[in-house]
Amino acid sequence: MSGHTSSYEPTSRWGKWFDERLPIARLVHGSFVAFPTPRNLNYLWTFGGILMFCLVAQIITGIVLAMHYQPSDTAAFNSIEHIRRDVNYGWMIRNMHAVGASMFFIAVYIHIFRGLYYGSYKAPREVLWILGVIILLVMMATAFLGYTLPWGQMSFWGVTVITNLFSALDTIYQGLGTGIVEWLWGGYSVSGVTLNRFFSLHYLLPFVLTGIVILHVWALHVVGQNNPTGLELKEPSEAVPMHPYATSKDIVGLFAFLLLFAWFVFFMPDYLGHADNYNEANPLVTPPHIVPEWYFLPFYAILRAFTGSFLGIPLGSYAKLLGVIAMFAAIAILAFAPWLDTSRVRSAKYRPLFKWAFWAFAFTCVALGYLGAKPAEGVYVLWAQIFTVLYFAYFLVAMPVLGLIETPKKLPRSINEAVLGPDAAAAAAKH
Amino acid sequence: MTSMTRRLVSSFAAAASAVLIVSPVLAAEGDGPEIVRQQWAFSGFRGQFDQAQLQRGFQVYKEVCAACHGLNRVNFRNLVQPGGPGFPEEAVKALAAEWPNQITDGPNDEGKMFERPARLSDPIRGPYRNEKEARAAQNGAYPPDLSLIAKARGVARNPSWWTHPFLMLGDIVKSYQEGGSDYLFALLTGYTDPPADVKVGDGMYYNKAFPGHQLAMPTPLQPDQVAYSDGTKPTVENYAKDVAAFLAWSADPTHDQRKRIGWQVMLYLLVTTALLYLGKKRIWADVKH
Amino acid sequence: MTSHVDDANRRDFLVVAGNAFAAVGAASLIWPFVQQMNPDASAKALASTEVDLAPVKEGQAITIMWRGKPVFIRNRTKDEIAAAEKVPLADLPDAEARNGALPAATPATDSNRVKSGHENWLVAVGICTHLGCIPKGQGMGDARGDFGGWFCPCHGSHYDTSGRIRRGPAPRNLDVPPYEFVSDTKIKIG
């Protein structure tokens, strides 16, 4: 899993014997100890490690919860209450898992925005980036499936609404969408059958995710890490060994992140959820506002922006289908970023116009998130439509156009020059 | 800058300023009555339940609410455990044995289900076995189980979009989690005469805190209705506050332990983060970065 | 590669302290994850069970559930009691009473396995001490083994009318759970 040769030398006889048969210690040493990391990485680069932690933490707490959880429409809600009230430290483990999902998304969104700002998606990191987009998709699917498991009102109606998205395919071929929806449900409505299969898939996907994450890390070790300057490593003195340098920074980042994590776990475990989900699922009563978890809100806003008309353009019977397509396209378009961005400069640090576009895009995402939580009526719909256009404009207009017309700032010649200044860099290069 | 870039930049700027100017319009509407936040013993990150208040609150539940509402996810044994009302075990055993809504057990040797007095390990049952029975007895209304009511209700706030992030941040820093209790207090003290232009439906009552303002529950609390033994004034406000606190505990019986462990964890994380940061500085001391 | 930091620096006190703190935190996180597998509060609350003995006639037996385990309660006949009482301790593979209410070293006489004044009632956990099967002997037509008590069909352990192992691979007598007579016809187990 490494693009460079390992300097690992086993010290003991047994170590040598084992290394000749299974060089796993060599692999770990090469990938996570001696691996050269750019010396100028800032704390935004610690989120890779934080995400690793999140994945492992979710898997461990999830396996523990599965020991007490019962995936049936009559028992699910009660079993969650059993975990909260009676299981030893059940409340803690359950809060860790529920809050952990939100923390995972906070970390992954920061990770993605860091990549967008510093141009980490550009050649030669396209495959690394696309694997990241796939990870995001699988994460979203896992989170969605997981949210159904408590079988509260929001769980139930969230599944109902989101699975019904597929019925939009009826516009293309009559019966196609309905068929898929009933196949997903295993019945003619969301029921205990649906819950049971969602539990099974919710247990499966994190392991799929782990597999893709391994590929993601592998790809990272082939092409090396990007850095705030967006320049490639030119000489050994521009890098430091991952351990103890990057690792010591990663663990500070992780513990700072854990402060936030623990605050929510212990002091406001329900803040990131919905009060309605403490009512058991009732197929006869829909809650007044169905709102997904916060991490889906921007995409939910894009979905709902497609009503009868879009910015004055009548959509007719295609509104629903277009909304669904736009929502999935909003995620899929990330995968095309490496080819949509025409600039040869990676880091937004040296791109005066692109920097503006980036922050406008960040604002757009937050605004869409805000609108996703509001009822889809009146002026909110108009704003959702405007911001949907801005969202896609970032990828389809700003990325290709700015690269062609913008004059980047003068780039430093090397990472060393950026860090040490030109003279010291020249001196370092002589060594 | 080419003219095209200028146009792009100005269109982004225009979009941003348009948001700033037009968005106050968004803030005007609201979708629920505003609920006043109360001071609770368990408010915020330092709060812990007040045992005497929980005991009074249970008394109110027992003498008033229990006539219609169950508390099925709370067992009698929970009334004994630390972090709750903390009644003596013998008293709760006696209470369970006398609880009017008995436990269905069985089948016995004749194959029949039978009713028996509750034990410590049994739930605090309400008068109705299921929703249908409740609705039949209550003219179609359904008195919900109260075990989780303090978590299943929240406070709707409709700040303008630009104050929203700050209020959210404020809530996170103060760790505001008492929306359910605030709502319950507002509801229990919210019965008033309806405004002149509102016609209250048959068998319905006007309440300023209830979404839609009409509910089937008549005013449950009257002054001097429950005799407190600890000198607390027998007012509707005190009853409402005590029972709302008790229901907050019912919905979250591990609350006290959670916050206590939480402080230890936060302290540990703060110290460790600081140490790790200093260690990191030490390691990076002679690497310019 | 800038590796100016020597080993002495790397083992700097701050670094060691930080790592030690992090390690202690990770280790203490194991505690709740181990504890969650122990019996929970609702299981502990069910730890005692009351049984009405009135319907059990002499010579009959009932099996009730206590903590998810079967408990044999037999209303022994006079002959059965007499047979149990006259067995010499030397004949017993396990000489300890195995009575939850008595100390461990109590000899396995019949009187040490029942309550005085209620010698006809034998209460024992109905799980073979060999590998956890349920011995036969509760039903009227069951094989009761060579000693008139219980017989475990899995590997052929024979128990006598006091629930003591007499022959076969089981190492211990059937456990007597802690119980007390609430009234003459009612016991509370646990």
Domains in chain A: how many in total?
A: 2
Neighboring chain A residues of B154 at a CB cutoff of 8 Å: 274-275
Q: Please enumerate residues of C whose Cβ is less than 8 A from a Cβ of B.
A: 2, 4-5, 9-10, 12, 14-15, 17-19, 21-22, 25, 41-42, 45-46, 55
The separation between CA C26 and the C-alpha centre of its own chain, rounded to angstroms, equals 36
> Both A190 and A317 in a single domain?
yes
Confidence band of A326 (pLDDT split at 50, 70, 90): very high
Residues A56, A188 within the same domain: yes
Query: Do residues A367 and A400 both lie within one domain?
Result: yes
Whether A22 and A112 map to the same domain: the answer is no
* Closest among B72, B37, B10, B269 to B171, alpha carbons compared: B37
- Residue C67 predicted with pLDDT over 80: yes
pLDDT, averaged across chain A: 94
Q: Is the pLDDT of residue A389 over 80?
A: yes
The residue range of the domain holding A377 is 35-430
Residues A170, A182 contacting (CB under 8 angstroms): no
Residue closest to A115 by CA, chosen among A225, A16, A279, A32: A225
pLDDT tens for A152-172 read 999 999 999 999 999 989 989
Among A92, A245, A378, select the one facing B283 at the smallest CB separation.
A245
Q: Give the per-residue pLDDT at C7.
A: 53
Is C18 in Cβ contact with B120 (below 8 Å)?
A: no
Q: Which chain B residue has its CA at the smallest distance from C44's CA? A: B121
Does C26 lie at the interface with A, CB-CB under 8 angstroms?
A: no
Indicate if A29 and A85 belong to the same structural domain: no
Same domain, A242 and A314: yes
Residues A30 and A84 reside in one and the same domain: no
B87-113 mean pLDDT: 91
> A255 and A184, same structural domain?
yes
Q: What is the arithmetic mean of pLDDT over C50-60?
A: 88
Q: CB contact, 8 Å: C35 with chain A?
A: yes
pLDDT at position C1: 41
Residue C190: what pLDDT? 82
Superfamily of domain covering C44-189: Rieske [2Fe-2S] iron-sulphur domain (2.102.10.10)
Tokens of A238: 């521009």
What percentage of chain C has pLDDT greater than the value 70?
94
* Contact indicator for A126, A134 with CB cutoff of 8 Å: no
Q: Assess whether pLDDT exceeds 50 at residue A69.
A: yes
Residues A398 and A384 in one domain: yes
- The answer to whether the beta carbons of residues A241 and B262 sit under 8 Å apart is no
Spatial distance between the Cα atoms of A146 and A149, rounded to a whole number of angstroms: 5
pLDDT of residue A5: 57
Reading the block at residue A258, the tokens are: 């854990």
Q: Where are the domains of chain C?
A: 1-38, 44-189
Token pair 């998304």 in the structure block, residue: A105
User: What is the structure's pLDDT at A421?
Assistant: 86
* A178/A268 same-domain check: yes
Name all domains of chain B by residue range, CATH numbers in brackets: 14-69+149-194+218-280 (1.10.760)
Q: How far is B259 from chain A (nearest CA, A)?
A: 6
A5-50 pLDDT, tens digit per residue, is 567 888 899 999 999 999 999 999 988 999 999 999 999 999 999 9
Q: Scan for tokens 């709760």, then name that residue.
A: B92
What gap in Å lies between CA C56 and CA C186, rounded to an integer?
Answer: 11
> C71 pairs with which residues across the strands?
C64, C125
Inter-chain contact A89–C37, Cβ cutoff 8 Å?
no
**Separation in Å, CA A345 to CA A137, A350, A401, B12:** 28, 7, 14, 22
**What per-residue confidence (pLDDT) applies to A429?**
67
**What is the average pLDDT across A109-138?**
97
- Is B11 or A137 the better-scoring residue by pLDDT? A137
Judged by CB atoms within 8 Å, which residues 223-262 of B form the interface with A?
A: 251-254, 258-259, 261-262
A167 in Cβ contact with A321 (< 8 Å): no
Candidates B1, B4, B12, partner chain A, best to mutate (most A CBs within 10 A): B12
Mean pLDDT of B259-271: 97
Q: At B26, is the pLDDT very low, low, confident or very high (cuts 50, 70, 90)? A: very low
A160 plus A227 within the same structural domain: yes
Instruction: State the Cα–Cα distance between residues A367 and C173, nearest whole angstrom.
Output: 73
Q: Is A313 helix (H, G, I), strand (E, B) or coil?
A: strand
What is residue A103's three-state secondary structure? Answer: helix
Residues A327 and A190 in one domain: yes
- The span from the first CA to the last CA of chain A, in angstroms, equals 30
Q: Does residue C64 contact residue C73 with C-beta atoms inside 8 Å?
A: yes
pLDDT digits (tens, 9 = 90+) for B136-177: 999 899 999 999 999 999 887 778 888 989 999 999 999 999
Is the ipTM reported for this complex over the cut 0.85?
yes
pTM: 0.89
Interface check B81 vs A, CB under 8 A:
no
Interface contact flag, C15 B271, Cβ < 8 Å:
no
| Closest residue in chain B to residue C10, using alpha carbons only | B283
